[in-house]
Chains A and B, each alone.
Chain A
Amino acid sequence: MEDVPKTMAASAQAIAFPAGGEGKAQDWELVRLCQNGTAAAFEELVRRHQQRVFGLVAGILRRPQDVEDVAQQVFLKAYLGIRRFDQRAAFSTWLYKIAVNECWDYLRKKKVRPLVYEADLSEEQVSRLDGIVSSDRPPQSPSERAEVRELLDRILEALPEQDRQLLLLKEMEGFSVQELAEMLHLNVNTVKVRLFRARGRIMQTWRRRLKAGGKTGARPAPPAERKG
């Protein structure tokens, strides 16, 4: 899979897309080029949106081993459907909708629910997370960030699935309320209210765990198989 087809490599070299500044092509221009058969334009779109698609897929699936595969599938579907994309919405909105649908399809096909943690955080994990949260110093290294993210994922378990996704995508991945509403087919006001309530609930859970001090060790449970 690492090998790039010669035709695509050649077209990518032939058309240069500046990484920034005034000469930067807009998404809709790249989409138009892509609809006219310029594959290199799509490669540029992939580069621009891969981080957010990755975050979105990771936020919904929470199965790191599958995230890359599903993210690739998202872009493949987008490429195959781009001729039918009429640009009435932003390319990013259209792409994120594909990503959300692809995640749900994937979970349905695999007959698994997103990863569920069966045990509470350990005392050590609670104090570590508390230290990070109250220090105002965000974790620097990728491994530190990954660790904090995993701990926060467990805290977010307290929420219903859709509220968990909303909060995670909003606060960790930086999606706007408008984007979330479009992606998840919800009313903008509903998203705001659910986010606000989810915030309250997550903090209650967090304070309860701080109080309890985390008496049990925590390990992620194996993916729960869906019965029937």
Chain B
Amino acid sequence: MRTDPEITTAACPKYEALLEDYLEGDLGGAGAKDVAEHLAGCAGCREAFGEALASARMLRAAGPALGPGPGFSRIVMARIDAAEQQRTAERATFWQPFVSFGWRLAATATLAIALLITYEAEWGRPLQPNLAVVRPMNVSDIFSPDPARPPATSDEVLMMLAENNHGNN
């Protein structure tokens, strides 16, 4: 509680937020009782609260600002529609150079391919037939590993050893 006569119009700092709640009727049971008791004993808070009540009454006299006209929502929707159209147009304008470049690139590539085919057909070397070379194969070779090739498996190693032994004998 404040006792200084110079500042009796100011509320106790601790109670300012609570007094605002009290003014709005936002304080329940115990909180409201506490503030009411404080107001009864504190002249500064009582005076400040009286001023706050008077200010609320004065300011509420004017009421809210005059609203928009009846066609406001329609105007807003029309403005939104115009903005959407503009955005779509801007998006198309943004991609247009890329699309144009793509078409030009495709046309150039087609022309280049056509020229290449024409050149190949008229002046290019005749293609050599890719003939397979068939080498007669000895049937016994099937079962014996190629001597030029190192043995790859353990079976081939054994066969090579057997042949070598046979040759030596």
Contact = CB atoms under 8 A, between A and B. Distances in A.
Contact of B65 (A55, A80, A177): A55
Interface in B30-64: 48, 51-52, 54-64
A60 to B, nearest CB: 11
A108 to B, nearest CB: 22
A76 B68 contact: no
A132 B61 contact: yes
Category for how many chain A residues contact B: 35 or more
A5 B55 contact: no
B59 to A, nearest CB: 4
Contact of A43 (B19, B68, B73): B73
A204 B10 CA distance: 12
A133 interface: yes
Interface residues of B, number: 41
A46 B61 contact: no
A191 to B, nearest CB: 8
A4 interface: yes
B146 interface: no
Interface string A1-31: 1111101100010000000000000000000
B61 A139 contact: yes
A108 B55 CA distance: 31
A145 interface: yes
Contacts of A200: 9-11, 48, 51-52, 55
Interface string B155-168: 00000000000000
B54 A203 contact: yes
Given A43-B73, A200-B51, A203-B55, A172 B16 contact: no
Interface in B68-82: 68, 71-81
Interface in B55-112: 55-68, 71-81, 83
Contacts of B52: 196, 199-200, 203
Q: Please provide the 5 A-B residue pairs with the shortest distance between their CB atoms, ordered closest to farther.
A: A171-B59, A192-B17, A199-B55, A192-B20, A149-B62
14 contacts: A1-B75, A8-B81, A39-B80, A43-B77, A46-B73, A72-B76, A76-B79, A133-B61, A168-B59, A189-B17, A196-B48, A199-B51, A202-B59, A203-B51
Interface of B: 9-11, 13, 16-17, 19-21, 23-24, 48, 51-52, 54-68, 71-81, 83
